[in-house]
Amino acid sequence: MVSSLGAPAEIAIVDPLDTVPFVAAPRLPEPFENRHPAPAVAENLRHHLFDVDLDVFASVRHAAESILSRARRRPAGTAVFTCNVDHLMLMKKDARFAAAYSRAEVRTIDGAPLALLSRITGTRSARRVTGVDLTSDLIDLAAEQGLRVALVGGADGRVEEAARRLAVSHPRLGRVFTASPAMGFSIGDDDDRQLVSDLAEFRPDIVIVCLGAPRQEMWIDEHKHRFPGCVLVGAGGTIDFLSGAAARAPKICQRSGTEALWRLSTEFPRLWRRYLVRDIGFLAQFPVVVGGYAAARVGVAPSVRAHPSGSAGGRSEGATRRCGVCVVPSDDRAC
């Protein structure tokens, strides 16, 4: 289990100059809504949903460029979480996960329902920035700018395959660090400390972390201070897509925002509990948010002033726009 350098055997550096008998992975398709001109978006615009401030970007490319620019100015790593419905539901049950989310520097809108709800409740420029698409654009920028990329996670063999495919499709990318932690590893255990030490020695500019929620977000939150100026993205199953082990939904599903339904139909045994049990509560919350926003717009409900910036429910506040959940008709408590 130990390489000649003393690191765990799962860790490897892939050199793009090596002869690689693999077919280059096609560039991951960008959702339809991000391939069309979007309304101008103010820098650092955020939309508030369910007590989470979500960063709004005009496109995936805008997000990638903005995140890299912010990260270079920071003395610690920049945590990027891609928020979806499942994350919101998990945060209600897991205080540690919610705390890690609150400390993230960037929280993009990943899920189509969240993008739709953000547009309905006042931020018409809200666009999806998924972990898969953000990774694709970050890797493009890394190849253009000579940045160092690391991939962490994925099943045995998949992360190495993903790196090999990237080496072929992006010959200017440079070396790619890969690591596949053992199933069930604990954050902070001996293997994890060795992984972080090896990764810090590599000095990455971009780390794509695919350990699944909530572990990947908590891993990033725990270790980001070790990587100054670095972008660390919680990207779910992205390594599976990069390696060719899994295929994304058809373009029509990505364009229509029904990618989750396609995944449920093709991976029902693995995903039914997540979508049909854990996340079903979101359906009840959707009309509550929309109704609260509408009530604040017509002046029926009072504003809530308990948020840090002194929120006005359903109305714009500087660079943050508040959702209907921030409006509590019966009293003055925050959402």
- List Cα–Cα distances, 4 to 104, 121, 180, 189, 250, in angstroms: 36, 56, 17, 22, 43
* Domain contains 132: yes
Tokens (6 digits) for 274: 């997540």
Residue 174 DSSP label = -
Count how many Cα atoms sit within 13 Å of the Cα of residue 270 in the half-sphere of its side chain.
4
Domain boundary among 220, 243, 266: 243
- Quick one: 117 and 221 in the same domain? yes
Tokens (6 digits) for 182: 């053992």
pLDDT confidence of residue 43: 60
* Domain contains 38: yes
* Domain contains 184: yes
Give the residue from 269, 159, 249, 149 showing the smallest Cα distance to 202. 149
CA distance 221 to 163: 24
139 close to 166: Cβ distance less than 8 angstroms:
yes
pLDDT confidence of residue 309: 34
What's the average model confidence in pLDDT over 289-298? 78
- Quick one: 175 and 82 in the same domain? yes
pLDDT confidence of residue 24: 42
- Quick one: 38 and 112 in the same domain? yes
pLDDT confidence of residue 165: 98
- Quick one: 81 and 181 in the same domain? yes
Comparison of pLDDT for 50 and 152, the residue scoring more: 152
- Quick one: 230 and 308 in the same domain? no
Comparison of pLDDT for 5 and 39, the residue scoring more: 39
- Quick one: 45 and 123 in the same domain? yes
- Quick one: 302 and 201 in the same domain? no
324 close to 289: Cβ distance less than 8 angstroms:
yes
- Quick one: 228 and 321 in the same domain? no
* Domain contains 278: no
- List Cα–Cα distances, 16 to 134, 145, 172, 204, 221, in angstroms: 22, 16, 8, 16, 30
| Kind plus residue range of the DSSP H or E element containing 139 | helix 131-145
Where does the pLDDT of residue 33 fall: very low under 50, low under 70, confident under 90, or very high at 90 and above? very low
* Domain contains 5: no
Q: What is the mean pLDDT of the chain?
A: 81
Cβ neighbours of residue 91 closer than 8 Å, sequence gap 6 or more: 50, 52, 97, 98, 101
Where does the pLDDT of residue 31 fall: very low under 50, low under 70, confident under 90, or very high at 90 and above? very low
Residue 98 CB: number of other CB atoms within 10 A?
17
Q: Is residue 247 predicted with pLDDT exceeding 50?
A: yes
CA distance 72 to 228: 8
CA distance 211 to 97: 14
Residue 39 DSSP label = -
Domain boundary among 222, 243, 264: 243
CA distance 78 to 233: 8
- Quick one: 75 and 198 in the same domain? yes
Tokens (6 digits) for 80: 């990027």
Domain boundary among 243, 258, 279: 243
* Domain contains 313: yes
- Quick one: 208 and 320 in the same domain? no
* Domain contains 41: yes
Lowest mean pLDDT segment, chosen from 20-24, 193-197, 316-320: 20-24
Instruction: Give strand pairing partners of 52.
Output: 49
Give the residue from 241, 297, 27, 214 showing the smallest Cα distance to 327. 297
* Domain contains 254: no
138 close to 64: Cβ distance less than 8 angstroms:
yes
Tokens (6 digits) for 300: 């029926």
What is the domain count for the chain? 2
| Kind plus residue range of the DSSP H or E element containing 231 | strand 231-234
- Quick one: 139 and 222 in the same domain? yes
Return the sign of the alpha-carbon dihedral for residues 90, 96, 98, 104: negative
Domain that holds residue 163: 12-243
Tokens (6 digits) for 48: 């508030």
Q: Is residue 30 predicted with pLDDT exceeding 90?
A: no
pLDDT tens-place string over residues 186-229: 999 999 999 999 999 999 999 999 999 999 999 999 999 999 99
Amino acid at 179: A
Q: Is residue 4 predicted with pLDDT exceeding 70?
A: no
Where does the pLDDT of residue 183 fall: very low under 50, low under 70, confident under 90, or very high at 90 and above? confident
- Quick one: 309 and 239 in the same domain? no
